[in-house]
Amino acid sequence: MGWLDRLFPGSKKKADTTPAAATKSAPAEASVPPERVGLDGEYDESGLAKRVALAFDNDSTLDDLGRLWVAQTGSKVVLKGEVPSKDYLDKAISVARKVDGATEVDAAQVTITG
């Protein structure tokens, strides 16, 4: 099980979908704010969080440990839970910042356990 499946069970995931591709696939819905674009370009309240989870799945250095959660408040990505190291957290923040629509990443609710 990966990030997307754990955090958003039942979310559709195309095998060749990447966060950037998912965002760019919605030209007909140009009025949808970037943080609300879903995996297939549709309007989705949790679109940004889902695309961040997909970006985590696509990064081989971010194993899904089952203790870190991704949410969003508008265009802010919110990370909550536990990670094993500061390096892991820094990598997660870096990946999340690169997802289209993310204007900020809040990791104040993350505890480093290692």
Question: How many other β-carbons are positioned within 10 Å of the β-carbon of residue 60?
Answer: 6
86 exposed, middle or buried (CB, 10 Å; 0-12, 13-18, 19+)? exposed
Q: Which domain holds residue 95?
A: 3-112
In tens, the pLDDT along 50-104 reads 999 999 999 999 999 899 999 999 999 999 999 999 999 999 999 999 999 999 9
Number of domains in the chain: 1
Q: At 90, phi and psi to the nearest 5?
A: -60, -40
Cβ pair 75, 46 in contact under 8 A: no
- pTM confidence score: 0.84
How much is the pLDDT for 1? 78
- Report the alpha-carbon distance of residue 42 to residue 39 in Å, rounded: 7
